[in-house]
Amino acid sequence: MKLNVLLPKFLMMFLLLMSSLALAEGNCPPGMYEIGGQGVIGCAPAGVPTDGYRDYKDQVQREKNQHQEAVDKEYNKWKPKAAGTTVVDSYSALAWHPDANDYWAIWDSNTSEAFAKERALEYCNKAMKKGCTVAVSGKNLGMAIAMVDGMVAGVASDIDADVAMMAVMKMCETKWGADRCSLLTRIKPIKVTDTHLDFLNGHVPSPEQTVRYKKTTKRIERSSEPASNYINQGNYEKEAKYFVEKWGPKIRQMGAARGSTLAEIEEANMKERAARVR
């Protein structure tokens, strides 16, 4: 009698122990896979999805689709800008002040020419209090500034910054003589992506950074003219060769002494300009 009572209990404990081992090992017969959860694990034939497995796969696929749609939507917002396929005209403006051997310029602005002028004047007047004027402004406008004896003398403008550079040097040579002239800087505009930014580039020295004339400095009359006043666009090759022949040796000489690139030469000129008039 006692044996009959203990045997079923022993068998039940044995089966529970075996089930626990099977669950711990996670083993299913060949061709089967585990299903279930929360302490109830079973095996199902591989390749024969259950309703629960189908629901799980459908949910996973829906979530993947929703995520991809969100990614695509966000990407499409900035894709044209990142790829550079959507570009707009840019606007430039340059302001200066009679008491400053400096300039304030805004370029690569995709707002408007009026905004570029307003912002250039704002920065200039912030540094100089008042008395600033706009020297030049325009759409897709390149600019170049020449110096005479280390002083800002003139600016020429054109949609091609290289043409503006050739023109400003020719203007300087015509008015003050080649020996007194040097190139301060060249501003080359670009087509900008429609990002609704105020501007991408600018030269906006603060009151502390502004190069001011000394009271005893003898000034020269500045001028701002379109490049077409000095460069014949119909004979660009001739004009370019003249520029290289006339100014190439001086630029190379300056480059050998101060640096090998135009940017380094321009930077050196700016330092010389500051040293001469502060």
Question: Rounded distance, CA 145 to CA 171, Å?
Answer: 10
Which whole number is the average pLDDT over 210-216?
89
| pLDDT at position 152 | 94
Question: 158 - beta bridge partners?
Answer: 142
Task: Say which amino acid occupies 192.
Answer: V
Q: How high does pLDDT run on average in the chain?
A: 76
Which whole number is the average pLDDT over 12-30?
51
| pLDDT at position 190 | 77
pLDDT tens sequence across 214-243: 888 888 899 999 999 999 878 888 888 888
Residue 131's SS3 state is coil
Q: State the DSSP string of 218-250.
A: PP---EEEEGGGT--GGGHHHHHHHHHHHHHHH
CB 230 within 8 A of CB 174: yes
Domain boundaries, the chain: 50-85, 89-277
| pLDDT at position 56 | 67
CA dihedral for 189, 191, 197, 198, sign (positive or negative) = positive
What does DSSP say about strands 151-158 and 223-226: parallel, antiparallel, or unpaired? Answer: parallel
Taking the whole predicted model, whether its pTM rises above 0.75 is answered as: no
Which stretch of DSSP H or E encloses residue 171?
Answer: helix 161-176
Looking at per-residue pLDDT, the higher value among 128 and 246 belongs to: 128
| Residue 125 vs residues 46, 148, 183: alpha-carbon distances, Å | 79, 24, 25
Question: Rounded distance, CA 67 to CA 70, Å?
Answer: 5
Which whole number is the average pLDDT over 75-81?
50
Question: Rounded distance, CA 183 to CA 77, Å?
Answer: 42
